[in-house]
Amino acid sequence: MLFPILSLLFLALAFGGNASAQLLDPADLHVGTGAGTSCPLGCNGDPNTISATGFDIYYNPNTHSSQAPIGDPFYLIIASPIYTGSTNSPTVGGTATMYAPYPGGTTSTVSVGGQHDWGTMTSGDLYAFIGLGPFANNSFQFGNMLACDIGTTGGNGCVNTSLQNGGAPLFGDTITGYDVTTWLIGTTLFAPNDLLDFTGSLPVGSYVAAIGVNPTAGSQGTPEAWAVPFTESGIVTTTNVPEPSSFLLLGAGLLALAALSGRRLLTA
For range 89-106, the mean pLDDT: 97
Which range, 12-16, 42-46, 126-130, 258-262, is most confident? 126-130
For range 232-247, the mean pLDDT: 64
Please tell me the total number of residues recorded for the chain in this structure.
268
Rounded CA-CA distance 23/219 in Å is 11
Please state which of the ranges 23-32, 42-51, 137-146, 214-223 shows the lowest mean pLDDT: 23-32
Type of residue at 81: P
pLDDT reading at 221 higher than 90: no
Is residue 109 within 8 Å of residue 231, measured between CB atoms? no
pLDDT value of residue 40: 97
- Find, among 222, 189, 226, the residue nearest to 76 by Cα: 226
Inter-CA distances, 137 with 57, 96, 108, 140, 162, Å: 18, 27, 31, 8, 25
- Find, among 206, 183, 205, 207, the residue nearest to 196 by Cα: 183
Share of the chain above pLDDT 70, in %: 77
Instruction: Identify the bridge partners of residue 117 per DSSP, sorted by sequence position.
Output: 181
Rounded CA-CA distance 81/206 in Å is 6
| Domain map (residue ranges) of the chain | 2-237
pTM of the model: 0.82
pLDDT reading at 197 higher than 50: yes
